Amino acid sequence: EGQGGLLDVAIHPDFVKNQLVYFSYSKPHPDNKRLATTAVMRAKLGRAGLSEQKIIFEALPYQSTRHHYGSRLVFDGTGHLFISVGERGNERENPQATDNNQLGKVHRINDDGTIPADNPIKDGSGKVTSLYTYGNRNPQGLALHPLTGEIWENEHGPRGGDEINILQPGKNYGWPLTSYGINYNGTTITDKTTAPGITDPQHYWIPSIGPSGLAFVTGDKYKPWKGAILSGSLRFQYLNLSYLDGTKITGEEKLLKNIGRVRDVRMAPDGFIYVAVEQPAAAIYKLVPIE
pLDDT tens string 192-223 = 999 999 999 999 999 999 999 999 999 999 99
CB atoms inside a 10 Å sphere around CB 154: 30
| Spatial distance between the Cα atoms of 182 and 162, rounded to a whole number of angstroms | 11
> Do 265 and 232 touch, CB atoms closer than 8 A?
yes
SS3 per-residue string spanning 62-101: CECCCCCCCCCEEECCCCEEEEEECCCCCCCCCCCCCCCC
Q: Are 217 and 228 in contact (CB under 8 A)?
A: yes
pTM: 0.97
Question: Residues of the chain whose pLDDT is less than 70?
Answer: none
Q: What is the pLDDT of residues 6-45, one digit of tens each?
A: 999 999 999 999 999 999 999 999 999 999 999 999 999 9
Fold of 6-208: Neuraminidase (2.120.10)
> How far is Cα of residue 131 from the mean position of the Cα atoms in its chain?
14
- How is residue 223 annotated by DSSP? G
The 3-class secondary structure across 132-182, one letter per residue, is EEECCCEEEEEEECCCCCCEEEEEECCECCEEEEECCCCCECCCCCCCCCE
pLDDT of amino acid 80: 98
- pLDDT value at position 81? 98
Specify the pLDDT at position 238: 98
Whole-number Å distance between alpha carbons of 218 and 239: 16
* Contacts (Cβ under 8 Å, ≥6 apart) of 133: 105, 106, 165, 167, 168, 169, 170, 171, 172, 173
Three-state secondary-structure class, residue 115: coil
Instruction: Report residue 110: phi and psi, to 5°.
Output: -75, 165
Active-site choice (12, 68, 80, 107): 68
**Residue 288, pLDDT score:** 97
Q: Which of 68, 63, 69 is nearest to 32 (CA)?
A: 63
pLDDT at 279: 87
* CA–CA gap between residue 160 and residue 209 (Å, rounded): 8
Cβ partners under 8 Å of residue 127, min gap 6: none
Q: If you count DSSP H runs as helices and E runs as strands, how many of each does the chain have, helices first?
A: 1, 19
Strand pairing report for 203-205 and 131-134? unpaired
Annotated catalytic, 68? yes
Whole-angstrom distance, CA of residue 233 vs CA of residue 258: 10
User: Do the beta carbons of residue 38 and residue 26 sit within 8 Å?
Assistant: yes
Residue-wise over 167-203: b if at least 16 C-beta within 10 A, else e?
beeebbbbbbbbbbbbeeeeeebeeeeeeeebbebbb
Count the alpha carbons within 13 Å of 178 in the hemisphere toward its beta carbon.
Answer: 17
The pLDDT value given to residue 48: 93
Domain boundaries, the chain: 6-208, 213-291
Measured CA to CA, the distance from residue 127 to residue 106 in angstroms comes to 18
